[in-house]
Structures are given as C-alpha cells and as structure tokens.
Structure 1
Amino acid sequence: MSFTKAMGEVVRLPVQHADTADFAPALDTPPTAPGGTGAGVPPTNPPRPMPFGDPGDRDGDGDDGEAIEGRVLVDRPDTFRPDVRARRMSGERAQRRPIVAPWLRDATEAKATVRWAVGYAGHVTGYHAARVPLYSLRLAGRSPRGLFRVVAGTWRWTFDIESRPLRTHAIDRRNDDAYLKLMSERNDRVRARMLVTGAGLVGGGLAAMSVTAAGGVTQTAVLAAVVLLLGWIGTPTDRRVLDTAVVSTKAPKLTSEIVVRALASLGNAEINKAVGKGGSGITFPAPITRDGPGWRAEVDLPYGVTATDIMERRDRLASGLRRPLGCVWPEPAHDQHAGRLVLWVGDQDMNQVKSTAGPLAKTATRVDLFKPVPFGTDQRGRPVTVELMYANALIGAMPGMGKTFAMRVLALAAALDPTADLRVYELKGTGDLSALEKVAHQYGSGQDDDTLAECLAALRELRKDLERRAKAIRKLPKDLCPENKVTPELAAKRSLGLYPSVFILDECQNLFAHPDFGDEAARLAIDIIKLGRALGVILLLATQRPDKDSLPTGVSANVGLRFCLKVMGQTENDMILGTSMYKNG
C-alpha cells in the first residue's frame, strides 16, 4: 500500500496479512545495526509480504501460502481438497438447464414441432409408398447381381481364397517352412468351413422343400423376399434403392462446426484469433436443439466480442451459414453476459412462411385492455403480446409495407373491449379502417381540411377530458386508487367516466405536417401521450413518413410501444424505434 504526504512524497509500507504473524517483526525488538546481527542491523533477506488474496495457512498444514523462489503462491493448487462451501456457492450461481425442454412447455412451440414432425413423416411415407412398384422393379433387376455376389462370396470364404496371397508370397521367397505352415492352417479352415457351408446348403434345401409344399401365397411372399434381398445385396455402392423424398438444403442441420465457420467469415479479429487456436475461444454452453420451426444455438463468443457485434453483421453471418437472410436471427441472451449469443436459424425464409389467423380473429369475443393483447408472432412462431393500457403505440413503415394491417390488430382489440371508448381517424381517405365505423364513438376518413379539422377538434376534446379524469382520480380515496391511476375496477364504474379511451390516428403525418393544424396537433398529441398514460387514455399512431416535420420529436420520444416495418434506412428506423436502436440490433 502507499500513502502520499502533503509534499508529494510517496511512502511505501509493507502489506501485512492478518493470518501470517511470522512476517510481522516484533514491536519490542530493537533494530539491528548494518553489517551485524545485533541492534540496528536489518536482516539480509527480509521476508516478502504475502499478497492480497492468499488465504494463508488456514489449516495449519503449511501448504497454503507456500513460497517458491521468494514468491508466494496466491492460487491454490488443483490438488487441494475441494471446498464444500465454494462448490455450493458456485452451484447456486450456475445456470441450471430446465428439466423439460422449453419447446415442450410452450403449447404453441410444441404444436409447431409436432406438426412439422408429423407432416415430414407423412410426406416421406406417402412419397415412398407411391414408388413401391418402381423400387420392386429396381431390386428385381439387381437380383442376378446379388445372387452372383452371394455365390462368389460363399465360395471365396469356404475355400479361403483371401489367404492365397500369403502362400504365393512364401513361394516367391522360397520359404518352404512358412508355406507348409500356411497350407496346414488353410486346410484346417477349409475343412471347418465346408462343414458350415454344407449345413447351410442342407438347411436351405429343407427350407426350399417346405416352401414348395406350401400354398401359392407363401411361395410368392418368400420368392419376393428372396428377390428383394438379392436385389439389395446386388445394389452398387454408388447407387441407392430409395429416391430422395425431401431435397434438403446445403445446411439442413445446424452444427457447431457450421456455426464456428460462419463466425469466422465475419472478419472479426478476436474471432479469427479464437478460430486460429482451434476454436477454443468459442464455446457452446448448451446443445444445439430444435426450437420451433428451426434450430437454436447458444454461443459464448471470445473475450471482448459481444452479441451486438454479430448482429450488426447479420447478412455476412447468413452468408457464412449458407442460409437466406430471413432465416438467420441472432440476438443477445439478456439474462447472461454480453458475450452470450443466441442464434436461431429457421427452416424457411420469413417471407415464405404461411401466415395464420391471429387469436383475435379466431376465438376472441371479448378483450380486456388491462391485460396483454395478442399482436402477432416472432420469427420463431412464438406469440407476441402487447399491453395497451398505460402505454401509447407508434407504427411506422413505407407505403404498402403493412402498417395499417398492424394497426387493425390493435384497433380490433380495442373494439372488442366493451368498456372502451373508440375514436378512429384514417387520414389516408381510402377507408382502410371503415369496419370500425360501426363501433367507434367518432370516425373520420380523408385527407381534406374538413376531416383534418374534425380530427383536431377530437384531439382538443380528448385533451380536455384528461383534466376531468385527473380531477376524478384526485377525489378518490387512497384505498380505491393507491397509485393515482385508472384500474380495472375503476374503469368498470361508468359513473366515474374512467373507462379506457382509445384514439387511433392512421397516416398521422397528414395532420402533423399540415401548415395550419400541425403545430397545435403536435402539442395536443404530446400532452395526451405524457398525461394520458395513468388516466386510461391510449393514443395509437401510424405513419409512412417518419421525419421531424411529419412526426414531431416530442411525439416519437415519449411513445412507449414502437413497431417498425420496412423503412428506407437507418435514420428512419431510429426515428421510429429510438436513437441507436438500429446499431443495437
């Protein structure tokens, strides 16, 4: 340790370990003089202080803290007896793998996996069943070759033809003793094998007589089986009996070798060093397994490499895996360290996967906006839910990229909640949300000034309603409203007027970019987003032009739920999802 005086002089003091009194000089011992062993003479080789971290000789056996060549061993040797407490603590910190596979615990993933397995087995079975006549003719044509192989192989084995080169070599070397010994061994083997072959011929003859005496069905079945067996034996090694039912891709199964090869193609210096050392710096903490309609791999990257570094080069990773870009989805393991990568590789490209009807369209008859609402599925087919209450949503995309379809899902959820008050303004004018006109409290469609003015008036009305809601909550006792926000129980009491109020604004850029209405609309929207969260007011926005004029910064910065489909570039992506979201993957 070191301490600094006022004049800047550094005084270094020896570090004393609390458990090693042998290194501490006695306080009442006078110093030894130079050159001697009496008073005032310092020791020739003073003991080296023990570094921090050495446990010292805790057990009194003299093993801990052993000094070698003037250095003190800090790390315990591997042969030291196990520390029960350390092992228990490490076991508590270790990640325990689930007893039941995650895809079995999730009903959706389990159904997808079973559906894939059943469909695959059914296709393969039907494919080969339809080609049974072709396979039969193919084997029948190869049966003469198989009969010849059986006869020739039996002859060579019975008369020990394989040992002939050894006897020929002994003759060439004029080694009479070796030749006579080899001949004697050969004769013994031939006599024994002839007995076995004779017994086989007798058994085969008896079997043939039994089949001949049997009925025609038995004869046909046995003859067909013999022909097929001889055809299988006569099949050349470079040919197959069965055709390929499923043409697999170049990488049908994800393996550790393929993953390491793909990571090495990214051009990362640390990964290249790890691969150059035999891949010792890249490990797999869990086996590569099926996960829904694809493969899942967990990878511990080399030191200093993060999962974000891999996600930024997703296109190169897909090239290294020889898979379409829509099949490769790397992501970080949020419950682990930054170097843990979760790589999911799908069987099909995302744009080729057949979409299915959502839960709201199939079975839902009533929705509670205070509970998570089904919104869609991720790339693995897992359901994704959103909780609209206490949040606002922003959906952005280029024209024709599906933002209105995404808005319809949230609008349908709001319409299926009988307690919700719905205001819908579709400022494109094509009637994409016209089905909600029958259930909406207010509805408008168009991009003309009259419709925009009506929408602005609805925003003013909603902003004024926020003040009424705030007063109503302020008057409630704390036992009914402990967090000063709308609860399901309060929303159910219509007399309080705290029911959910959902304002849907599609193509909002037409309102925010209007020269006369834009500024006021932006201020009202920002106030509604900031104040309406706890008051049961939900604002849903959709835009196809995310720039500072069409989408005010105060609006995009305060929206909690953001959904971005295809946009032109990184800047537009960050304007919808937030700053640096593209860089973070």
Structure 2
Amino acid sequence: MSFSKPMGEVVRLPIPNNTAPADDSAPGINAAPDDAEDLRSEGAADVDTSFEVQLDPDADAEGVPVDDGVGYLLDDPEGDAYPVIPHHLRSLAGVGEAIGRHTRRAAHRLAFHAVRAPRYLALAGVWGAVGVWRLIDRQLSWWWVSENDYLRSLAVAQGDSREWYKLHREVKETRRVRGTILAGQAAAVLAGGLLLVKFAPWWGWAAVATVAVPWLAHFGRPQDHPIIAPATTVPRFRLLNHDVVLRAYYSAGLGHAEKMNEQVTFETTMSRTKEGEGSQVKVVLPHGTGFDAVVKAKDKLASGLDVAPSQVYLTHDPSSHRRHTLTVMDRDPLAVPAGKTPLLDCKRRNIWRPAPFGLDEHGRKVALGLLWISILIGAQPRKGKTFSARLLALYAALDPSVRLSVVDGKNSPDWNKFAMVAYHFIRGTVPNRAGDPVRQFIAALAEIKQHIIDTNDFLSTLSVEECPEGKLTEELCRRYPKHLFIWMLVVEEFQNYFELPDQDDNKEIAELLSFILAVGPSSGVVLLSSSQKPSGVGAGDVQRLFNRYRDNHAVRFALRCGNRNVSDAILGGDAYSEGFDASALPVGKPYLGVGYLYGADDHTPTVRTHLADHGDAEKILTAARRMRERAGTLNGYAAGEDTGAPDRDVLGDVLAVFGADPGLHWTELAERLAGQFGDRWADATADAVSAQCRDLGVPSVDVKRGGVTRKGCRKRDAKAATDGTAAG
C-alpha cells in the first residue's frame, strides 16, 4: 500500500525530544579547522567540517540555497554543481598560493611541535610507565576472571550451593587456560627482551621504543590529557537543530508551543548552506503571523539562537507571507573584511562589464553593473560612504573611453586624485581661486544634458540595421567614439547643492539633476550620488525636486544609518517591510563599509565592500591617466582645459602658433599656445595638447629640432586634420 501527499501541503517534521550531545565526543565537533576550511573553500562537497554534525538522522543532506545568485552575483559557470577544478587552482598564481598556504601551515606545525618535543618525550615516558602498569593490571583481572565474582556472590546470597560449585569449577578451569596463555606471553616477552639485549643494535631498540612507547603512553594517559597539544585552535559553533529554532521563535513571541493553532512548523529539514558557512531551514509561521513580525523580532530571535544579530538572515518567500527561510551563519560574516580591491592590478577595465564591489554575507563576490542605472549611497559620517562610492568611480576611471565628472560637495581630500582623469572636477560650494563651483556645476550639468540630447539625436539618425532597437550599445560606442560614449557623473554630498543661499541656483541645479536622472541612464550617463543627509532638504519646489531626485535612483546602497527614518529615505519605504534596516547594522571598526545593496536584483545582499585607501586610489588613478593618455581620451580638467569656458578651436590655435616652422615638439607647442592664447591655454601641458591633437586626427611623430629628436607634430598634419574636419 502506498500513500501520496498532495502538492503544496506543508509537511510538519517530527521534532526530536532531546538535542544532540554538546560534549567533545559528538562527531565532528573537534575537527581540525584549517583542513576543513581549506577543503570547503576548494569546493569539496563531501567533506566533514567542524560544524557538519548529523543533527537530524533522517534529514536530507543536500541544502537548498537561499537565493540563486542571479544578476549582479558572479555565479559559478557550472551552476549548482561544484567545479571539477576549483577556480583558485586554475592558474599558476592560484596553485602557487595554495602550495604556499599549505607550506606555511606545515612549517608552523613543525616549529610548534619541535619546541615542545622535550615536553612530549617526558610525558610519553611518564604515561608509558602508567600504561605498563595498567596493562599488567588489566591482564591480571582478565586471568582472575573477576567478572564472575558477582555471580558467585549472588549464588551465596541465594543459598544455591550447586550453582556456586558450578561457577567455581568454571572459574578454576578458565584461570588455568588463561594462566597458561599469560605464562606463554611472559616467556615470549622475556625471550624477546633477552634477544634484543644480546643481538639487537641500537637502532633496533629505537625501533621498538618508537612503536611501544607511544602505544603505552596513549594507553596510560587520561582521556582528557592529550600528550601532543594541537598547533591550531579548534572552532566550536552553536549546535543548531529544530528544537533550538523552535525555542528561539517561541521565546521571541512568534508562536506558542502548547497551543495547536499557534505552533511554528518547518517546510524543509535543517541543511547546510550551499557555501557551507551556515545552516538554514524554511519556517512556516502560525496563521495570522507574517514576515513583518519576524523582522521586528530579529534581535530576540538571535538571542534565542544564542548568536549575534548579524549572523541571522531572513529571506521572505514571495509565495506566502507566513513562510520564510532562516539562515544562521557559523560566524559573524560582516566582521570579516572583504580585502583590498582587485582594481589594484591597474589593468584596463570595461564599463560594459560589472564592477567588483565586495563580498556578500555568504562570502560570494558581488559585482555591480553600472550601465542603465543610477546609484544612491547613504550613511552616517565615517561609515565608509565615500570609500564605497570611490570604488565604483575608480572602476570607471580604468576604462579610458568613459568620461568622468566628479563633483565634491563637501570639498574633502577624498576625491582630489581624480583631478588626474576627470573631465569636470568641482569642489565645494564657495568661490575660490579655481572659480565659482556653483556656476561650474551648473555649466557641467548643462553640458551633460546637451550630451544626452545629442546622443539621442545621433541614435535616431542611424539605420534600423545598424541600431535595430534604437539603444546605445558597446559596438556603437566603439564605432562612433566621438558621438557615443559612457559618461559617469559623481556627486558627493549632493544635498549641499540643494541648500545654496541663492534659491534660483537651487532650483536650476535641481531641475538639471532631475532631467539627467530621468533620461541620462538610457543615454549612457551613469549617476553616482552620495549623501549623509538624504531627507529634510529644501522647501517648496526645491524640496519636491530633491525628494524626486533621491527616490528615483534605481540602486541604493545603505551603510550604517542613525535611525530608521534615514534608512528608509535611502533604501525606500518598502525595504523595512522586507527586513532591511540600515540603522540596525552593527557598529564598530570591523563593520566599516558594510551595507545593504538594494534594487540591483530581487535579492538584497549585505555587502562588505572592498577597500581602496588614498594610496590605493592614487595608484589606480595614475595608471588610469596613462591609459587615457595612450588612448587619446584625456580631456577636460585633467588635460588642463577650462571646461566652463566656450569650446576653443584647437586646430586653429595650433596652426596659428606654428609660424614658418614645419614641426614642433609638444613641449614647444604647449609653450607657444600658453604665450599667445593665455586665456585659453594658460595651464596647458604637453601631454594635454598631444592628447587633444591626436583626438582630432593629428599623429604624434618624431620631430628633430636643434639636433634633438622628440615627439611632436608637423604643420602639414595639423592642416590636413583641419581640412578633414571642415570637409566632414
């Protein structure tokens, strides 16, 4: 007879009455941490780690991932299957790193035990002597048949003489047989000892001692006194099973164990996460209790589980408000830094590919696609907001085809090095020696707005065969680099430009930013905004435009916030009901750069961003400038141009300063331009002039002047480029 269960019915799992033992004898509790972690990180699917104990005998061993990792998460190409060859062993550098790691561990263990070798020998001798005595005592007890004493005493107590005589005869016979065996054993040991004394060399004694002494020492030592101490620490995790989870939910007020209609049940068995870093189970709440209640009780739930709140993750089931997946990490994943940014290799990047951002709570790489979106980053001061925004801007800087505009509303040194590559570089809100930053910002926004309009107009002129969907593509940007390119606008502390003394400036900036936010992403303009004050800014139309600008960002990244209202302003009103409150993120130095990445995908990870400090940023930007110089895309502020002034006729000015000379070095050309056209070329450098001329079709060639050959340009090439531009 067979029984079938209708699809969709919740299976209530049997809950064991007693939890698994928590002593050291529990299987797997004292597994060596280093080997287990290495095997786990190398993709071994069937490795017993220090936490993988059988909590539920009938449980399915295969875990169900909390999310599929689709979108910005960099998945394994094999899908759910573990790779045949781990990713870190697919290169010589990865193999070398693995060999080095194991070599360092082996060297540490060797040094650790070598220092303690005399102590080990002394303990082995002491416990070896105890082992000899215990062995003799056990054999004597075996020979004397001491286990029969109870039966004979029982026969005496019952007055059964026949049974006593029967047992006595059997004991005498057994003692005779066992005594013979022991006598033979003693004779053999004595003969072996005499042979060793008479014939064996010193290494024979050493071989016997090597085998006998460790065995006797192990036999003689107490179970809780190991002779050889471990060279590494042994991790111990919370023992998680269904009973522990039920206790936590009931103590958090999410149900009642005694009331039938208020009991918490489970839809799946307890299992390990796909990454092997935690445990998870799908929980079904009582009728009338929803996911919102679990979110509010998260701290109490963590207390019931005896873990930190940052180890508890709740994933809502879109099919039911009663169901969710509870994931409990073995360690606090947010306290483990994600490490330095991979951009430090200073290699050229492609803006059409996702930018590495950090690691999520499961240790998976998080990469964010920057195109077609706008990004809002918010947090309290000194929580990693600027560093997070700078990571994405550094990625864009390493693509020479990307035009970069940096506007720093707080006028801090954090963005100063971007002056090496930025087309616009604007700091503060108060006029200074560089000019009026407010007017410069308005001019920059107007230029970006015009670029958006020009891009859409240019795309409309292309044929259906060349541009079938009327959208910007990577191929079109390569084909028409002068007309189509990606432009990133970074606005740090953007609220400062909504609170200017001049209300007309506030309104003009607000209207331009709103236009760019609404239309820019589809035209290849990436907007990266950051703020520590995302609400309560402006009044009237300015306030309305500010809120619209803030709320229309497609992707939000919220680090630690002061309160829930600020978190909602950054993440949006729906985030809290989904379990995301940036004001509840942990506080402390280990948690700098930790935040919720909301809106990039259906799943919202808790990201630990990579680190790029000031020195790292300078190194990356120096490489980015060289790339732009070689590609001929260094322009604007970085090239010494006044981006707030009207466009100058580069080729016309160059031809005007040549005079009768057929060719000039770039250095001479820059000096002549600065001397004759100081209003337009006062700060021009040789690199800047070279980049602009090459961008207009003037080749950089060897020019010999005064017996010295250096790079420069020829007058005929400049004139040919001028004629070609006019003809085009």
Q: Tell me what 1:543 maps to.
A: 531
Distance in 2, matches of 1:512 and 1:579, equals 22
Larger C-alpha radius of gyration, 1 or 2? 1
2:329 maps to 1:345: yes
Q: Is the 8 A contact 2:238 2:306 kept in 1?
A: no
- 1:83-122 equivalence runs, <5 A: 104=83, 107=87, 122=106
Q: 2:516 aligns with which of 510, 528, 543?
A: 528
Q: Tell me what 1:432 maps to.
A: 414
Distance in 2, matches of 1:576 and 1:570, equals 10
Aligned length: 493
Shift of 1:206: 3.6
Residues 140-199 of structure 1 show CA distances to partners (whole Å, capped at 9, x for unaligned) of 222332222111111110121221232133223321101111112212222222232233
Q: Tell me what 1:211 maps to.
A: 196
Shift of 1:535: 1.0
Q: Tell me what 2:718 maps to.
A: none
Q: Tell me what 2:500 maps to.
A: 514
Q: Tell me what 1:3 maps to.
A: none
- 1:329-408 equivalence runs, <5 A: 329-332=313-316, 339-348=323-332, 350-351=334-335, 353-362=336-345, 365-408=347-390
Q: Is the 8 A contact 1:427 1:505 kept in 2?
A: yes
Identity of aligned residues (%): 25
Distance in 2, matches of 1:501 and 1:439, equals 13
Where do 5+ consecutive residues of structure 1 fail to align?
Answer: 1-77, 87-94
Q: What letter matches 2:480 in structure 1?
A: R
- 1:25-36 equivalence runs, <5 A: none
Q: Tell me what 1:501 maps to.
A: 487
SS in 2 for 1:433: helix
Pick 1 or 2: higher relative contact order, CA cutoff 8 A, min separation 6. Answer: 2
2:573 maps to 1:579: yes
Distance in 2, matches of 1:182 and 1:535, equals 101
Q: 2:424 aligns with which of 424, 442, 452?
A: 442
- 1:169-568 equivalence runs, <5 A: 169-212=154-197, 213-243=199-229, 245-248=231-234, 251=237, 254-269=240-255, 281-282=265-266, 284-285=268-269, 287-288=271-272, 291=275, 294-302=277-285, 304=287, 309-332=293-316, 339-348=323-332, 350-351=334-335, 353-362=336-345, 365-449=347-431, 450-494=436-480, 497-516=483-502, 517-549=505-537, 552-568=546-562
Distance in 2, matches of 1:300 and 1:286, equals 10
Distance in 2, matches of 1:338 and 1:145, equals 62
Q: Tell me what 2:140 maps to.
A: 155
Structure 2 CA distance for partners of 1:314 and 1:117, relative to 1, 3 Å: farther
Distance in 2, matches of 1:302 and 1:202, equals 73
Distance in 1, matches of 2:313 and 2:518, equals 34
More off after superposition, 262-271 vs 190-199: 262-271
Distance in 2, matches of 1:124 and 1:323, equals 31
Q: Tell me what 2:601 maps to.
A: none
SS in 1 for 2:168: helix
Q: Is the 8 A contact 2:237 2:330 kept in 1?
A: no
- 1:32-71 equivalence runs, <5 A: none
Structure 2 CA distance for partners of 1:275 and 1:154, relative to 1, 3 Å: farther
Structure 2 CA distance for partners of 1:210 and 1:346, relative to 1, 3 Å: same
Q: Tell me what 2:602 maps to.
A: none
Q: What letter matches 1:510 in structure 2?
A: N
Distance in 1, matches of 2:362 and 2:395, equals 23
Q: Is the 8 A contact 1:428 1:445 kept in 2?
A: yes
More off after superposition, 267-276 vs 473-482: 267-276
Residues 250-287 of structure 1 show CA distances to partners (whole Å, capped at 9, x for unaligned) of 6256555544444443221167868997x8x2354463
Q: Is the 8 A contact 1:299 1:341 kept in 2?
A: yes
Structure 2 CA distance for partners of 1:330 and 1:125, relative to 1, 3 Å: farther
Q: Is the 8 A contact 1:306 1:340 kept in 2?
A: no
Q: Is the 8 A contact 1:428 1:446 kept in 2?
A: yes
Shift of 1:584: 1.1
Distance in 1, matches of 2:414 and 2:126, equals 65
Shift of 1:411: 0.7
More off after superposition, 548-557 vs 432-441: 548-557
Q: Is the 8 A contact 2:124 2:227 kept in 1?
A: yes
Shift of 1:365: 1.8
Q: Tell me what 1:67 maps to.
A: none
Q: What letter matches 2:371 in structure 1?
A: M
Residues 426-478 of structure 1 show CA distances to partners (whole Å, capped at 9, x for unaligned) of 12112211221111111112231521221122112212222222211222222
Distance in 1, matches of 2:316 and 2:410, equals 39
Distance in 1, matches of 2:307 and 2:196, equals 56
Scaled by the length of structure 1, the TM-score of the pair is 0.74
Q: Is the 8 A contact 1:103 1:109 kept in 2?
A: no
Residues 318-353 of structure 1 show CA distances to partners (whole Å, capped at 9, x for unaligned) of 3233333333334346799962415141434523x2
Residues 19-77 of structure 1 show CA distances to partners (whole Å, capped at 9, x for unaligned) of xxxxxxxxxxxxxxxxxxxxxxxxxxxxxxxxxxxxxxxxxxxxxxxxxxxxxxxxxxx
Q: Is the 8 A contact 1:431 1:445 kept in 2?
A: no
